[in-house]
Amino acid sequence: MKRIVTLTTRDLKESKKNGGCGECQTACKTSGVANQKCEKVNK
Amino acid sequence: MIHQYKLNGFNIVLDTYSGSVHCVDDLSYDIIALYNEKKSKDEIKSLMLDKYKKDGISEKDILDTFSEVDQLIESGQLFTDDVFKNANLDLKKRDSVIKAMCLHVAHTCNLNCEYCFAGQGRYHGKDAIMSFEVGKKALDFLVENSGSRHNLEVDFFGGEPLVNFNVVKELVKYARSIEKEKNKHFRFTLTTNGVLLNDDVIDFLNKEMDNVVLSLDGRKEVNDLKRKRLDGKGSYDIIVPHFQNFVKKRGNKEYYMRGTFTRNNLDFTNDIFHMLDLGFTELSMEPVVSKPDTDYALREEDLDKIYEQYEILAKEMIKRRREGKPFTFYHYMIDLTGGPCIYKRITGCGSGTEYLAVSPNGDFYPCHQFVGEKEFLMGNVNEGITNTKLRDEFKLCNVYSRKECENCWAKFYCSGGCSANSYHTTGSIQGVYEYGCKLFRKRIECAIMVKIAEAMDDANEK
């Protein structure tokens, strides 16, 4: 029986190679990047 | 670095440097915690046999769990090291391209909201309106300084931008006219208090705006306590029908109801639920950031109550999704698979570098929250960026430049926080607004728990 379930997430280490294009977006106007989406990955 | 917490029946383990999210049973949860304390496997085995004897956990169970944990470590999904510090050095040398602009088309407002960071929309100055000429120069500057970026963002802000609706329309028309020639795509957004939201305005916004942010604090008595008309009466009865009309016509295009909660409504989930009752489903509710001497400022003693509210909200979000009546709470909309790359996570919002605010007379500031503060004047639409020293200071603002962030598990979700909040609470853009950090960490814990619950629900449906 597996005791650990790992969710599928974007590999941050991998994103060092395929990230940084800057095409992503820069609601709240006051308080991170947690809610942002990557233009490339979501194409 | 890892972070472990229990919430809503889930045991959750986050791995900071890989971005991995694990949902584990009690035994694994304890074993991972002991790994983190550098205990030996013999010690861990002995401790676990003692603790779980009554639950029938055998030595084999413990060894199997060791094996699962070791596998995650080997595959780089648990206890991973920081491999990004060197990437941070490259970020300091990165090009200065601008891709987003906040156009303050009106420094005046038809409401008089008590907590407004912009001082009733005037930003500590006099009433002012942006001319088409100034706006056009700002858009030209954006295009010319955006390098190879294709997507450009322009937010119409104020004050109340609809006070200057004709200029908004002219600027959108101008931007659309140069898109093809310049190989750019403009994404427009607008933030409004709703007073002037008539059918003509709605039709225009629905055609041209990628996102519209509608300001409403929730229940009538809560909204009207802070969001008052110029005659001192509340705004709720005017704006709610306007917003409902807007949302009815909006179709599938993006919008957000955006509220502010203060010490006067620490039960702010009731305001969110009220917005749901009004028919709004895309919701955002922000903690007020204010000077500590106001009667509505959030205090240290309010934290437990706020944490509880965030948990209530997360559970309600899961419940309504199961009932087929989902809603969106902006801060819980984390995209685990398609979220930002590490560069974005390190640099954050890009204020003062990728993002500029433009005042009605054409002055540049690092972002909308610095407008009107002379020490943050960066240049203007005629001369461009003249204060390159300030731009370089903002360029160095990132998650690795704040020592307080070094041991924070949430740093790749918040990117070191908001420089404006840091400045206004600590006096330095490199400071840390610790109260905001506490709220942010709680929201991320809840957001990830929601994602786990949704993943479990989806798996059970298959």
Tens-place pLDDT, residues B263-312: 999 999 999 999 999 999 999 898 998 878 898 999 899 999 899 999 99
Question: What are the tokens at B309?
Answer: 């509210």
Number of inter-chain CB pairs under 8 A, A vs B: 181
CA distance A41 to chain B (A): 6
pLDDT at B126: 79
Q: Which of B28, B97, B340 sits opposite A3 (nearest CB)?
A: B28
Q: Which of B211, B258, B341 sits opposite A38 (nearest CB)?
A: B341
Distances (CA, A) of B362 to A29, B128, B145, B371, B451: 21, 11, 16, 11, 43
Minimal Cα distance from A19: which residue of B? B341
pLDDT at B257: 93
- Cα separation, B273 vs B462, in Å, equals 30
Using a CB–CB cutoff of 8 Å, tell me whether B259 touches chain A.
no
> Nearest 5°: phi and psi at B125?
-130, -155
Top-confidence residue, B214 or A13: B214
In B110-235, where does DSSP find H-type helix?
132-144, 165-182, 199-208, 220-226
Provide the pairing of β-strand B128-129 with B151-158. Answer: unpaired
Closest to A29 in 3D by CA, of B262, B421, B251:
B421
Using a CB–CB cut-off of 8 Å, the residues of A that contact B are 2-13, 15-16, 18-20, 22-39, 41-42
pLDDT at B94: 59
pLDDT at B376 over 60: yes
Judge whether B321 and B457 are in contact, CB under 8 Å: yes
- Cα separation, B207 vs B200, in Å, equals 11
CA distance B237 to chain A (A): 23
Confidence of residue B91 (pLDDT cuts 50, 70, 90): low
pLDDT above 70: percentage of residues in chain B = 97
CA distance A39 to chain B (A): 8
CA distance A10 to chain B (A): 5
Top-confidence residue, B401 or B232: B232
pLDDT at B361 over 70: yes
- Listing DSSP states for B444-462 in one string gives HHHHHHHHHHHHHHHHHH-
- Cα separation, B114 vs B111, in Å, equals 10
Question: CB B339 to CB A34 under 8 A?
Answer: yes
- Cα separation, B457 vs B29, in Å, equals 22
Provide the pairing of β-strand B151-158 with B185-192. Answer: parallel
Q: Which residues in chain B touch residue A17, judged by CB atoms under 8 angstroms apart?
A: none
Top-confidence residue, A17 or B392: B392
pLDDT digits (tens, 9 = 90+) for B329-339: 988 988 898 88
Distances (CA, A) of B380 to B9, B360, B361: 54, 11, 8
Closest to B332 in 3D by CA, of B347, B348, B315, B346:
B315
pLDDT at B83: 86
pLDDT digits (tens, 9 = 90+) for B51-85: 997 799 999 999 999 999 998 998 999 999 998 87
pLDDT at B326 over 70: yes
Contacts of B214 (CB under 8 A, 6+ apart): B192, B194, B243, B246, B255, B256, B257, B258
Using a CB–CB cutoff of 8 Å, tell me whether B421 touches chain A.
yes
pLDDT at B415: 85
Top-confidence residue, B120 or A15: A15
pLDDT at B341 over 80: yes
Helix (H, G, I), strand (E, B) or coil at B285: strand
pLDDT at B86 over 80: no
pLDDT at B88: 59
Work out the mean pLDDT of chain B and round it to a whole number: 91
Q: For residue B159, say if its preceding peptide bond is cis, omega within 30 degrees of 0.
A: yes
At how many degrees (to 10) do helices B199-208 and B236-250 cross? Answer: 40
Q: Which of A10, A19, A27 sits opposite B330 (nearest CB)?
A: A27
CA distance B57 to chain A (A): 12
Question: CB B25 to CB A4 under 8 A?
Answer: yes
Mean pLDDT, to the nearest integer, of B379-401? 89
pLDDT digits (tens, 9 = 90+) for B247-263: 989 998 889 898 999 99
pLDDT at B124: 75
Mean pLDDT, to the nearest integer, of B233-260? 92
Q: Which residues in chain A touch residue B341, judged by CB atoms under 8 angstroms apart?
A: 10, 12, 15-16, 18-20, 38
Distances (CA, A) of A8 to A11, B77, B190, B449: 9, 11, 34, 14
- Cα separation, B353 vs B364, in Å, equals 11
CA distance B347 to chain A (A): 9
- Cα separation, B265 vs B272, in Å, equals 11
pLDDT above 90: percentage of residues in chain B = 66
Judge whether B20 and B12 are in contact, CB under 8 Å: no
> Nearest 5°: phi and psi at B230?
-65, -25
pLDDT at B159 over 80: yes
Question: CB B355 to CB A26 under 8 A?
Answer: yes
Helix (H) or strand (E) holding A18: helix A12-18
Question: What are the tokens at A35?
Answer: 């809610």
Using a CB–CB cutoff of 8 Å, tell me whether B329 touches chain A.
no
Confidence of residue B125 (pLDDT cuts 50, 70, 90): confident
Question: CB B330 to CB A12 under 8 A?
Answer: no
Judge whether B239 and B162 are in contact, CB under 8 Å: no
pLDDT at B219: 95
pLDDT at B177: 97
Confidence of residue A42 (pLDDT cuts 50, 70, 90): low
